[in-house]
Amino acid sequence: MFSFELDKEQKMIRNSYAELVKKLVADTIHDQDEAGALDPKTIQKAWELGVSVSAVPEACGGMGMPDSPMQSAICLEELAYGDASFAIAVTTPSLFISPLLRYGTEAQKNACLPPVCGETYVPATLAMCEPDLAFDAASPKCRAEKKNGAYILSGVKCFVPKAKDAKYILVAASTDQGPQLFIVSADNPGLKVGDREKTLGLYALDMYRVTLENCKVSAADKLGGDNGCDYADVLARSRVGLAAVAAGISRASFEFARDYAKKREQFGAPIGTKQSVAFMVAEMAYEADAIRLMCWKAASMLEAGKPAVREAYLARMYAGEMAMKIGDYGVQVLGGHGYIRDYPQERYYRNARGIAILEGVATV
Question: What phi and psi values does residue 147 have, to the nearest 5 degrees?
Answer: -145, 120
Q: Please identify, using beta-carbon distances, which residue of 16 and 105 lies nearer to another protein.
A: 16
Using CA atoms in the order 24, 43, 41, 64, what is the torsion angle rounded to 10 degrees? 110
Q: Please identify, using beta-carbon distances, which residue of 7 and 132 lies nearer to another protein.
A: 7
Q: Please identify, using beta-carbon distances, which residue of 91 and 180 lies nearer to another protein.
A: 91
Q: Please identify, using beta-carbon distances, which residue of 50 and 194 lies nearer to another protein.
A: 50
Phi/psi region, residue 185 (left: phi>0; alpha: psi -120 to 50; beta: rest), is beta
Q: Please identify, using beta-carbon distances, which residue of 62 and 327 lies nearer to another protein.
A: 62
Using CA atoms in the order 276, 278, 283, 286, what is the torsion angle rounded to 10 degrees? -170
32 contacts 39 by C-beta, under 8 angstroms: yes
CA distances from 85 to 153, 192, 279 (A): 29, 23, 29
DSSP 263-313: H-EETTEEGGGSHHHHHHHHHHHHHHHHHHHHHHHHHHHHHTT---HHHHH
CB of 16 to another protein, least distance (A): 4
The CA distance from 38 to 207, in Å, is 13
Q: Please identify, using beta-carbon distances, which residue of 116 and 352 lies nearer to another protein.
A: 116
DSSP conformational letter for 65: P
- Residues found near another protein in the complex (CB under 8 A): 8-9, 12-13, 16-17, 19-20, 45, 48-51, 54, 63, 65, 71, 75
The CA distance from 142 to 151, in Å, is 12
CB of 140 to another protein, least distance (A): 32
CB of 18 to another protein, least distance (A): 10
CB of 320 to another protein, least distance (A): 28
The CA distance from 52 to 269, in Å, is 47
Question: What phi and psi values does residue 358 have, to the nearest 5 degrees?
Answer: -80, 145
Q: Please identify, using beta-carbon distances, which residue of 46 and 127 lies nearer to another protein.
A: 46
Q: Please identify, using beta-carbon distances, which residue of 69 and 140 lies nearer to another protein.
A: 69
User: For residues 293-324, b (16+ Cβ closer than 10 Å) or e, as one string?
Assistant: ebbbbbbbbbbeeeebbebbbbbbbbbbbbbb
- Start-to-end C-alpha separation, the chain: 24
The CA distance from 52 to 69, in Å, is 11
The CA distance from 130 to 11, in Å, is 37
Q: Please identify, using beta-carbon distances, which residue of 46 and 223 lies nearer to another protein.
A: 46
CB of 167 to another protein, least distance (A): 22
333 contacts 280 by C-beta, under 8 angstroms: yes
CB of 72 to another protein, least distance (A): 10
CB of 323 to another protein, least distance (A): 26
CB of 203 to another protein, least distance (A): 25
User: Pairing mode, if any, of strands 269-270 and 265-266?
Assistant: antiparallel
CB of 50 to another protein, least distance (A): 5
